[in-house]
């Protein structure tokens, strides 16, 4: 690895750590670096990418907890439901190709852009004083969302935030803290699988994890001090969705 590549890995990981902590889809950066800059095969890049995700999740969770922004007690059933769906989705994904879902993913991201742009106040201001949707609606949706995450994973963070903010009535920063717990648990389970299949480059993954952990630390540190943290997280979420749409429709080639 050259010095230039090392710098790209660390900076790219740092940016991805910030994006993943406050919005989602930061893996668009890290996977591009792993495949396009370092030349890793797709499956090896996919496994190596999980190292940074795990460490950034751990750092983000620790910082959210330290700042008093992580409340697992009221979220344990949400987390368990998501993980159950993810386990089922992961089993199915072994035998079914994700390619056939690319078109559906584009439509889902378009729909998500509309959802986040309509009535932004739902995202920016806390909703603890509002009633959640019925559990008979919320938990089946969470189960489907978990299945989606285990099966495809693309955009999981964005969709998770939408469900948590619009249906479970969490504010966006609290939803982000729970998202890190879910993603961290996901990743801790799949990393041994990738490792035993020889699909993790631990040296590269470790370097990227340094950058991503730093990004996650910085993101929570700043968010805990911002008076308008929900607003900034919302704006970042909108930006990420737009960039993902431009990428998957071939308008931007990054």
Please give the residue that has the higher pLDDT: either 197 or 18. Answer: 18
- The predicted pLDDT at position 242 comes to 86
pLDDT, mean over the chain: 82
Model-level pTM? 0.78
> Rounded to the nearest 5 degrees, what angle is found at the Cα of 72, between the Cα atoms of 15 and 225?
45
Residue 228 has pLDDT above 90, yes or no: no
- What contacts 191, CB < 8 A, 6 or more positions away? 47, 50, 51, 54, 200
Q: What is the per-residue pLDDT across 129-169, written as a single tens digit (0 to 9) for each?
A: 566 688 889 999 999 888 877 776 667 788 888 888 888 88
At 94, is the pLDDT very low, low, confident or very high (cuts 50, 70, 90)? Answer: low
For 25, the token pair is: 């889809």
- Residue, of 254 and 148, whose pLDDT is higher: 148
Q: What is the pLDDT of residue 131?
A: 66
- Select, from the ranges 40-44, 79-83, 242-246, the one with the highest average predicted confidence (pLDDT): 79-83
Judge contact between 231 and 22, C-beta under 8 A: no
CA 109 – CA 88 distance, rounded (Å): 23
The reported pLDDT for the residue numbered 243 is 82
Weakest-pLDDT range from 97-101, 209-213, 214-218: 97-101
CA dihedral 15, 21, 26, 29 (to 10 degrees): 20
Please state the rounded mean pLDDT for residues 66-94.
Answer: 83
Where are the domains positioned within the chain? Answer: 3-248
CA distances from 168 to 75, 133, 165 (A): 10, 7, 6
Distance CA 55, CA 211 (A): 10
Residue pair 231/239 in contact by the 8 Å Cβ criterion: no
Provide the b/e sequence for 171-180 (b: ≥16 CB within 10 Å).
bbbbbbbbbb
Given a cut of 90, whether residue 14 has pLDDT beyond it is yes
Q: What is the pLDDT of residue 51?
A: 93
Which of 17-21, 60-64, 126-130, 181-185 has the least mean pLDDT? 126-130
Q: Which pLDDT value is given to residue 96?
A: 57
pLDDT at 105: 63
pLDDT band at 100 (very low <50, low <70, confident <90, very high): low
Tell me what percent of the residues of the chain surpass a pLDDT of 70.
87
């Amino acid at each position: 690895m050259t010095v230039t590549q090392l710098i790209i890995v660390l900076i790219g990981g740092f940016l991805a750590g910030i994006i993943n902590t406050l919005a989602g889809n930061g893996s668009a950066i890290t996977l591009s670096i792993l495949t396009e800059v370092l030349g890793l095969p797709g499956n090896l890049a996919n496994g190596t990418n999980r190292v940074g995700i795990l460490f950034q999740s751990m750092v983000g969770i620790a910082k959210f907890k330290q700042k008093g922004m992580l409340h697992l007690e009221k979220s344990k059933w949400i987390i368990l439901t998501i993980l159950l769906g993810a386990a089922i989705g992961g089993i199915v994904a072994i035998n079914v190709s994700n390619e056939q879902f690319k078109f559906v993913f584009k439509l889902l991201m378009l729909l998500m852009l509309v959802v986040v742009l309509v009535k932004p106040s739902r995202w920016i201001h806390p909703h603890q004083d509002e009633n959640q949707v019925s559990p008979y609606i919320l938990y089946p949706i969470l189960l489907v969302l978990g299945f989606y995450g285990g099966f495809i994973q693309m955009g999981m963070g964005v969709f998770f935030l939408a469900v948590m903010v619009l249906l479970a009535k969490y504010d966006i920063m609290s939803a982000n803290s729970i998202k890190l717990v879910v993603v961290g648990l996901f990743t801790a389970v799949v990393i041994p699988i990738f490792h035993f299949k020889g699909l993790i480059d631990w040296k590269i993954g470790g370097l990227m994890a340094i950058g991503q952990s730093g990004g996650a630390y910085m993101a929570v540190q700043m968010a805990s001090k911002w008076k308008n943290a929900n607003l900034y997280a919302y704006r970042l979420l909108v930006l990420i969705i737009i960039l993902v749409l431009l990428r998957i429709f071939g308008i931007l080639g990054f």
